[in-house]
């Protein structure tokens, strides 16, 4: 059983068609890890941007009346 698994892993390693997918998975994994590490900072940035957008929208709507 272990030999079969080893053989299949070797085939996957030599198969270059899957490398693009593997690279995409690794890139997504790195992005997710960075997002988890900096989630508090990212949350603060998004909240800041949304509050600025809300203020701009309010000032635009108030100016139209």
pLDDT tens profile 5-34? 777 777 766 666 666 788 889 999 999 999
Q: Could you give the 3-state DSSP secondary structure of residue 63?
A: helix
Mean pLDDT rounded to a whole number for the chain = 83
Distance CA 7, CA 25 (A): 23
**Predicted TM-score (pTM) of this structure:** 0.45
Assign residue 17 a region (left: φ > 0; alpha: ψ between -120 and 50; beta: otherwise): alpha
Question: By percentage, how much of the chain surpasses pLDDT 70?
Answer: 83
Instruction: Return the CA Rg of the chain.
Output: 24
Distance CA 27, CA 46 (A): 22
Predicted confidence at residue 26, as pLDDT, reads 92
């Amino acid at each position: 059983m272990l030999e079969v698994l080893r053989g299949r892993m070797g085939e996957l390693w030599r198969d270059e068609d899957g490398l693009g997918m593997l690279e995409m998975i690794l890139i997504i994994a790195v992005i997710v890890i960075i997002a988890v590490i900096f989630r508090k900072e990212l949350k603060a940035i998004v909240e800041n941007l949304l509050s600025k957008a809300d203020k701009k929208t309010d000032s635009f709507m108030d100016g139209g009346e």
